[in-house]
Structure 1
């Protein structure tokens, strides 16, 4: 697949003097799709990403078909990319008891290595300023505008600011976000992701396998690879000398359906990517006038249907409200109120459902009980899947 060329951009010193309509911190799918929409609408937007594209992220790399039309409208050539389409779903308990069910809405497999770079270059082509390898260290709101300081000392100004920095960042502390204190006292998780090759994994299937205090997702991505991503209570890792490989041997492989994949398949290319200090506490959609989206607005349990879809959905919702504010049709207070209300109406049920299901997963007796109930009542499984997936927009 060819990647679109990056459009010319101004130097950092020139752009730092500008007053942007919007500054976006974080270049994942939520931030990138928001930047792309604003740029296509003729707004000036600057996006900061601390890494340099392309790079791998901890992610299930599964996009629900609810996002298909949206991405196509943005210019992502999904139909030409030969992506695996998933229409079946399997979930297993730690002992290997399994439930198989159709995945009616379906989804596509695509690596973040490809998708994020493509979205970044599309946004740049439409005039967005993309600052790769740039970490924002502070955000201050005063006199109806934001001042964003980046590593190295440069300052950027913008009328609005959006936080799309993921599950946790230094800016959460800078903004004194309320969820931090309860998160320090609560359960914490670690997430791991890598690709498997020669796994003989079906191209139309998503699997979710439970193990003690965690669960692992498997799904196909292009190139004959299988995405393997899992989340575990951090205590599992600590109990095995902080060794991912040892934790997999002693904990994940106790599930007999998961064991063959981890034993027999070869890891492709890069070593595992690991992130820690993950919590699923409720978060706010607005802090210090910064509008949050993606995991920054509410860490999305993998079982909620998939965070990529909800991050993009939130960007679509926020884009419309930002345009109203930038056009002078609503006040900042109204922008923040309407976004909070709309976000909760659209996504909070899915996130709450994901958190509730998350409580069952990783607990052998509860997971086995839940699977046995769902085996006997297929319609209930359909309803659960509908709760965690949305509609096209």
Structure 2
């Protein structure tokens, strides 16, 4: 077994999409990188599992062929309201469906092949002093690096340690995800609204259908279990009822996650460069959080490489550039995401909006464009 050194150029806290993508990128540029991930691979995660094609050039750069992994090409979109009004359109850029179980595992293998060091552990603390980080883990490791990337997901005890503002407010949202087997178009992602939430439906590799919904916990807790909630709330949307009732569950139990926060987060905290859900979380109604995680990893990694190549001369300059690029790339789409989510959380207003979209079908693709970015440029 190889001995893990104690000092690295970059330590990545969290080995999901953002963390592994950044680690592969940095290692390809001959930087010494460590990823600390608390879970073992492969693992299912609560996630919509649809990704915009904007990330394909970057995946090609990293050496990941999602279609060789079985990803489904998706270019159609369906949207329904709580009153079962349905509208369909094409996706301007298109995307693909692939499970986190499959994609994270492929990224892990690519990271290992790229000489990234990986350890399974939990980070208890990150300290910054004299231009150096000290990362302290649960297994009492003390590791040092020039940079730390935070890519540990939606919320963590580390957020409490860092005194991040969003963690102080209890979030009302709960998400549930499962895979099922049955009939659903390979080339479509659907978003069906129900009272208090919405559910995404799309195919992933192996002809599995991913069902992932988010709801307000106040709505959910009025029922004794997930099954009763689905029967009495979700199935009022006839499109969702059709999918759930005519398919076969592949999980023994659905996966759940609570305390999902859409509050503002700072992309840099205590000099840690935050990526993916650690930096921000777009409303699932806009269905593009996975590609945003990958895009943020590319931004952070490119700037860190420039720092080590002396193209960026100080940490301060790097952090300011990251904030500029992060805001340029994500601020507008996050704003659109919040507006769209707020509108569809009001049933009467959403019904009116659907009529408008049916009268002017060209509007919906324009909204989608504002949340799905452009093809990533690789430097």
Residue in 1 that maps onto 2:305: 323
Partner residue of 1:77? 65
Is residue 2:9 matched to residue 1:21? yes
Match of 2:296 in 1: 314
- Picking from 312, 336, 339, the partner of 2:322 is 339
2:350: which partner in 1? Answer: 367
Give the match for residue 199 of structure 2: 216
What corresponds to 1:191 in structure 2? 175
1:335 shift after superposition? 1.1
User: Matched residues in 2 for 1:29 and 1:311: separation?
Assistant: 7
* 2:153 corresponds to: 166
2:330 is paired with a residue whose SS is: helix
- Give 1:126's aligned residue: 114
Equivalence for 2:31: 43
Q: How does 1:199-238 map to 2 (within 5 A)?
A: 200-238=183-221
1:196-236 Cα shifts (integer Å, max 9, x gaps): 112x1011111100011100000011112100001000112
The equivalent position to 2:167 in structure 1, one of 160, 169, 180, is 180
CA distance in structure 1 between the partners assigned to 2:68 and 2:262 by the alignment: 36
Q: Which residue of 2 aligns with 1:245?
A: 227
Q: Is the 8 A contact 2:8 2:144 kept in 1?
A: yes
Unmatched 5+ stretches in structure 1:
1-8
Residue deviations 1:155-188, cap 9 Å, x none? 111110111111111111100012233x33xx51
Q: Distance in 2 between matches of 1:71 and 1:299?
A: 21
Partner in structure 1 of residue 140 of structure 2 = 153
Q: What's the RMSD between the two structures over aligned residues?
A: 1.4
Describe the SS at the equivalent of 2:152.
coil
Figure out how many residues of one structure are paired with residues of the other and give that number.
375
Q: Could you tell me how far 1:271 is from its partner in structure 2?
A: 2.0
Contact kept in structure 2, 1:29 and 1:116, CA below 8 Å: yes
Q: Displacement, 1:79?
A: 4.1
Q: Which runs of 5+ in 2 are unaligned?
A: none
Q: Detail structure 1 runs of 4+ shifted over 4 Å in the superposition.
A: none
For normalisation by structure 2, the TM-score amounts to 0.96
| 2:50–2:287 contact (8 Å) kept in structure 1 | no
Q: 1:227-261: CA deviations, max 9, x gaps?
A: 000100011221113x2221111111111111111
Q: Distance in 1 between matches of 2:345 and 2:241?
A: 16
